[in-house]
Amino acid sequence: MAANRRPHDEALMRRAIEIARRAVAHGNHPFGALLATPEGEVLLEAENTCRTARDATGHAERNLMTEASQRLAPEVLARATLYTSTEPCAMCAGAAYWVGIARVVYGLSERRLGRIIGAHPENLTLDLDCRKILGSGQRRIEVIGPLLEDEAAAVHEGFWTAG
């Protein structure tokens, strides 16, 4: 895993975590994602929009992948990295696959997220390693993570138990 780390991976993960904080400030769940070039230039950002858009599929990464597919050229996508504050769920890993990006870097693991949230009706977390999905395709997608997991977990602490 460490062999394929890039110098800007941690800075861009911290930025994805900040986007997750912004999603909460905007009334949504604490998830954020961004898409970057191999050189670390940010192409797009997306927040979770489940509550405000009344869209149960409004996960940050799924929102990001839809926008990326609509706005960016295939050759740009084919080199791009998705940075996401939490490991992509089955839907979001599928979206990353179909959009054809090169790489996924995630902060908090899905399993640890599940332990933090428990059986919350708004987030019945899947216990599924995104490598299982991304490793099942005909196209290779590199996966790095968990990265800065404690920092990525901090945005969830207190959120799912409050009011």
Positions marked active-site: 61
Using the rule CB under 5 A, is 89 a contact of Zn ion? yes
Using the rule CB under 5 A, is 65 a contact of Zn ion? no
Using the rule CB under 5 A, is 59 a contact of Zn ion? yes
First CA to last CA across the chain, in angstroms? Answer: 39
Binding mask 98-137 for Zn ion (x = CB under 5 A): ----------------------------------------
Counting every residue written for the chain, the total comes to 163
Binding mask 20-49 for Zn ion (x = CB under 5 A): ------------------------------
Using the rule CB under 5 A, is 95 a contact of Zn ion? no
Element (H, E) at 106: strand 103-108
- Classify burial at 136, counting beta carbons within 10 Å of its beta carbon; exposed 0-12, middle 13-18, buried 19 or more: exposed
Using CB under 5 A, pick the residue from 77, 92, 141, 153 that binds Zn ion: 92
- In angstroms, how far is CA 47 from the centroid of its own chain? 9
CB of 91 to Zn ion, least distance (A): 5
Contact status, residue 14 vs residue 149, Cβ threshold 8 Å = no
**Torsion angle defined by CA atoms of residues 91, 94, 95 and 97, in that order, rounded to the nearest 10 degrees:** 160
Q: Which stretch binds Zn ion (CB under 5 A): 48-56, 57-65, 79-87, 143-151?
A: 57-65
Q: Which stretch binds Zn ion (CB under 5 A): 36-44, 50-58, 81-89, 123-131?
A: 81-89
Phi, psi of 144 (to 5 degrees): -120, 130
Q: Which residues bind Zn ion (CB under 5 A)?
A: 59, 89, 91-92
